[in-house]
Structure 1
Amino acid sequence: MNTLTYENLHEVKKHVSSQFPYNTYLCSIPLDFTQVPLHWHNDVEIIVIKKGCGIISVDTEPRAVKAGDIILVRPGQLHSISQHEKDSMEYENILFQSSLLYSADSDPRTVEYFQPYFTLEYKLPWLFDNTCSSHEELSSCIDAIDDLCAKRPDYYELSVKGHLFHFFYLLFSSQGSPVTFSRSKSLDKVKQIVSYIESHYTEPITVQSAADYMGFSESHFMKFFKQHLHTTFTSYLNGYRLTIAARLLLTEDDSILSISERTGFNNLSYFNRLFKKEYQMSPREYRNR
């Protein structure tokens, strides 16, 4: 998978074809990248853990995941993927547009079933492991779709849609009566913060400048950030800068000094030290591996 796929926290990259808006990526952490930073997009995303284990966060709730687990990310939900300690993880990343299943012109029942879930009006678990009663059937749906997409027989798209409808039938029917989902307003503030980081990470931003942008006192900002992102602002900022730097090292020919400066580090020694701590190798070794 292209390591620049997740460069934007609010993704606008089109992952799917307009003719058939469904696509699959195979990814590996830490082989492809050590983390996928917090971001959101307008596609539906299903993540299937194939091997190993890692950490996935949805709407700032981090959970340990392992082989066999299925994660559903609805449009607009904040999510990230990261390495668990020194463990590796291979996973299948499925992205498709909700229009593949319904639109405003669909029959009333289909709109009634899908729209409240995909607009985050109704609650829906996002992690389905082997304790879930329908886990085996959910996995079978995905396996069948993968097989169809690999072979691409005539009219395979129709069967893919059929399996997706069955997948969501299993999910929705297992929830019983829908429960209204009042999404925390704090998540919108988290989006503001991570968007600020995306726009300004190349600059010498500080806790105070970020707090001022949000209209918070410095102490309230630090407390809010730690509560919702489970780390400090400085650690998160450095981690994001290092993620971008690592991608640039693999995709561009600029000098290490230039890349460190482009990603907001004004001290090469500090950049080298942080990079080695994060990736267990120097930037030069990372580029030449």
Structure 2
Amino acid sequence: MNILEYENYHENVTHGDIIFPYNTYICSIPYDFSNVPLHWHDELEIIYVKKGKGLITVDFKDYNITAPSLILILPGQLHSIEQLEEYSMEYENIIFNPSMLMPKQADCCTTDFIQPLLDRRITVPTVFTPVYPYYEDVVSSLDCCDNISMTCPQGYQLYIKSQLFNLFFILNNRCKILTNPKSHKKTIDLDKMKIILKYIENNYMNKIMISDVSELLDYSESHFMRYFKNTMGTSFVEYLKEYRLTMASRLLITSDSSILDIANEVGFDNLSYFNRSFKKKYNTTPFRYRKSNKSYS
């Protein structure tokens, strides 16, 4: 189970496919999952918060989010979603590949407007709230996509594309902000961490040695461990364990596999250690966690 499967393992509002890669999912924290671990992907993601409060991190910057809000996650940006205190948060998770708007033969729409935004040569806000002057302009395109997705009349894909082009127009024409570009060192640090996190996402179910990961960055094991703890605030071993437990919590709700099979599937080779670690993180046993959360799946 990769991150996108973890986060969107339930009914979607807009049913996209490889030909039309636009999907909208209804999500809630903590009822669908306790958190979405730090990750990145090549798709553009929009978190459209409709109700409640939550904590969203983008490129290591924390945002306390209150509905209604919209969070723009550009391709390649590190991001995570967590429960904020005792609050719940309901949101639409809109994910699409910008390539659906970009022809094979590049035109000025791609080279002058879409690609510069994706490459972050053009800077726009990450979080949009109703106090932002163009909030209604930004969310109106997404609301239009939601509305037509209720009935999906013939040619609705054309309409959704037109609204996404309108969204890029609003972002380019009205939302650009003047900021200093990120320092070269910060960009390199983000790129290094993206390599590590993608490796964890793709390999957490297997045995991972410190040497496996340190070699990705051409670091010694001791240098890597210092780098990871200084950047993430926790050790690599602890982070990997927490990641595996998070994946296990999702599988307990979305699958009928045995607890032993789930423990093995997420990288634990000792059931007793898995049970102890799970109870320490979630204050309950895997069996009770599954029983109490199945009704929300």
Corresponding position of 1:244 = 247
Q: 1:280 aligns with which of 280, 283, 287?
A: 283
Note closer, same or farther for the CA distance 1:48–1:266 as it changes in structure 2 (3 Å cut).
same
Q: Could you tell me which residue of structure 1 aligns to residue 267 of structure 2?
A: 264
Query: 1:164 Cα deviation (Å)?
Result: 1.9
Q: What is the deviation of 1:24?
A: 0.7
- AA aligned to 1:98 is P
Matched, 1:85 2:85: yes
Match of 1:184 among 182, 187, 192: 187
AA partner of residue 168 (structure 1): F
Deviations 1:219-255 (A, max 9, x none): 5434432343344323321221112212332344443
Tell me, in whole angstroms, the C-alpha distance in 1 between the residues paired with 2:202 and 2:165. 38
Question: Which of 228, 233, 249 is matched with 2:236 structurally?
Answer: 233
SS of residue paired to 1:144: helix
Paired residue for 1:122? 122
Tell me the equivalent position of 1:145. 145
Change (3 A) 1:100 1:265: closer
Residue 12 of structure 1 aligns with which residue?
none
> In 2 relative to 1, CA 87–275 (structure 1 residues): closer, same or farther, beyond 3 Å?
farther
CA contact (8 A) 1:123 1:179 kept: no
Indicate if the aligned counterparts of 2:26 and 2:91 stay in contact, CA closer than 8 A.
yes
Q: Determine if contact 2:125/2:177 at 8 Å carries over to the other structure.
A: no
User: Is 1:122–1:180's contact at 8 Å kept on the other side of the alignment?
Assistant: no
Give the aligned CA root-mean-square deviation in angstroms: 3.0
Unaligned runs of 5+ in 1: 9-14
Range with bigger deviation, 214-223 or 230-239: 214-223
Aligned residue type for 2:22: Y
Q: What's the CA shift string for 1:184-210, capped at 9, x where partnerless?
A: 011221122123323543455465664
Corresponding residue number in structure 2 for 1:72: 72
Q: Is the 8 A contact 2:16 2:23 kept in 1?
A: yes
Q: Contact 2:228–2:234 (CA<8 Å) still a contact in 1?
A: yes
- The question of whether the paired residues in 2 share the 8 Å contact of 1:55 and 1:62 is answered with yes
CA pair 169-231 structure 1, distance change in 2 beyond 3 A: farther
In the TM superposition, what whole-angstrom CA distance separates every residue of 1:128-177 from its partner, at most 9, and x where no partner exists? 22332211221222212211111323433333223222222222222157
Match of 2:23 in 1: 23
Query: Which amino acid is 1:243 matched to?
Result: T
Distance 1:224 1:16, change over 3 A: farther
Aligned residue identity for 1:146: D
Any idea what SS the aligned residue of 2:80 has?
strand
Say which SS state the counterpart of residue 151 (structure 1) adopts. coil
- Is 1:43 paired with 2:43? yes
Letter of the 1:194 counterpart:
L
Q: Which is further off, 186-195 or 149-158?
A: 149-158
Q: 1:156 to 1:69 in 2, by over 3 A?
A: same
TM-score of the superposition, structure 2-length normalised? 0.81
Greater shift in the superposed pair: 154-163 or 195-204: 195-204
The aligned length equals: 282
CA distance in 1, matches of 2:225, 2:151: 51
Deviation string 1:30-85 (CA, Å, 9 cap, x unpaired) is 11111222222222211101111112222232322221111111222222222223
Please state how far the C-alpha of 1:117 moved relative to its aligned partner: 1.3
Say whether 1:134 aligns with 2:134: yes
3-state secondary structure, aligned to 1:167 = helix
Secondary structure at the aligned position of 2:187 is classed as: coil
> Residue 5 of structure 2 aligns with which residue?
6
> Structure 1 residue 19: deviation in Å?
3.9
In 2, the alpha carbon distance for the partners of 1:191 and 1:3 equals 15
2:16 is paired with a residue whose SS is coil
Matches within 5 A, 1:94-113: 94-113=94-113
Q: Does 1:175 align with 2:176?
A: yes
TM-score, with structure 1 as normaliser: 0.83
Residue 88 of structure 1 aligns to which amino acid in structure 2? Answer: S
Aligned partners of 1:122 and 1:179 also within 8 Å? no
Q: Which moved more, 1:274-283 or 1:134-143?
A: 274-283
1:103–1:111 contact (8 Å) kept in structure 2: no
Establish whether residue 61 from structure 1 lines up as the match of residue 64 from structure 2. no
